[in-house]
Amino acid sequence: MNTKYNPLFEEFTFKSGVRLKNRILMAPMTNFASKKNGEVSDEELPYYRVRSNGVGAVITAVAYVTPDGKGFVNEISAHSDEMIPGLKRLADTIKGAGAKAILQIFHAGRMAPPELLEDGQPVSASAVVALRPGSVTPRELTEGEIETIIQAFGDATRRAIEAGFDGVEIHGANTYLIQQFFSPHSNRRTDKWGGTLEKRMAFSLAIIDVVKATVDEHAKNPFIIGYRISPEEKENPGITMEDTLVFVDTLAEQDLDYLHISVQNFWQGSIRDEEDKKSRVTLIHERVGDKVPIIGVGSLHTPDDVMKALDTGVPLLALGRELIVEPNWIEKVQSGEEDTIATTLTNDDQEKLIVPDALWSAIMNTPGWFPVVSK
């Protein structure tokens, strides 16, 4: 291995005591390959197995915690104990290949496609439609329903523990329900769950509290609790970087193992102010990185790209599309074969790359999402 890449392979120990063998994680990516009822399918296991050999940890595709929170066709579920055997197969597959296994959990809120819901009615903090084509106005959740969803995150965490996962990532990003409660666009409530910036944090903090309590009660081994956050929204009113910096100050006091910053590009500046070019990831790291480890992500294609990001002081980096295009990314760096890392794919590569049918179809039919080239 080229010695300049040694820092990528330094071990990292979380506050919980879980140790990673290196600084690279597989980012959470929806694969549309679970069974219709949310069970893990046979098709998902080899996809994860081949990508778990090199990375320190795998963060799975997101799992919904209640049926009305389903966000994708054939999405993995953690909403009932019937899902535990399948989740165990997934955790065993990832861990068997040498990586730590982290289950990402969420509720889609107003972003849930109506056709996937039993009553066809998405729910959210308030009855405010998302500014997306074809969006449906959600129904405002009652206080009782809010408490039920909060507990569902705890129940999903227990299932992750019983299935043998090493941790959970609470998905508070990408416009889904947890973010909807924090956003002044989607949360117009005047009760304890909305209004001031502090009240808009309450739902997130209540979920963190129930997840922590569940881990304290059920986990016999060290268990990771991470939280994913999107720094800004384009909407007005919407989440600003000023809001987020106050929020991460609070999150940094919650004894979390990490904050995962969800952006398209690690170096991306503001999506609200084109003049503000400062990386949102490094801004948050500079603000709270001395209190809680930051995971950076986004368009880090080559080992040199990852090293440049690591040089900012951000201690952990996640790779997403890069590991789909090149499942052996880590192994090739370790063996000094970084020049052979694939950065493009062709329409004939599905079998070689071990990608589920539905995900492959999405890759092939979404221009610009992946670097697809003609043979």
Catalytic site positions:
176
- Of 230, 108, 92, 106, nearest to 168 by C-alpha is 106
For the chain, the C-alpha Rg in angstroms (whole number) is 20
> Which residues have C-beta within 8 Å of that of residue 12, sequence separation ≥ 6?
19, 20, 22, 23, 56, 293, 315, 316
Answer left, alpha or beta for residue 84, where phi above 0 means left and psi between -120 and 50 means alpha: alpha
| Residue listed under structure tokens 């084509």 | 133
β-sheet bridge partners, residue 103: 168
Task: Determine the Cα–Cα distance for residues 69 and 7; give it in Å rounded to an integer.
Answer: 39
Q: DSSP secondary structure string, 238-294?
A: ---HHHHHHHHHHHTTS--SEEEE--SSTT---SS-TT--S-HHHHHHHHHTTTS-E
Write down how long the chain is.
375
Strands 12-13 and 19-20: antiparallel
- Let me know: does 200 contact 183? Beta carbons within 8 Å: yes
For residues 308 and 287, give the distance between their C-alpha atoms in angstroms, rounded to a whole number.
20
Both structure tokens of 165: 């996962």
Residue 59 token pair: 């963060």
- Which residues of 62-143 form beta strands (DSSP E)? 63-64, 100-106, 123-124, 139-140
Q: How far apart are the C-alpha atoms of 50 and 249, rounded to whole Å?
A: 37
320 HSE (CA, 13 A, CB side): 19
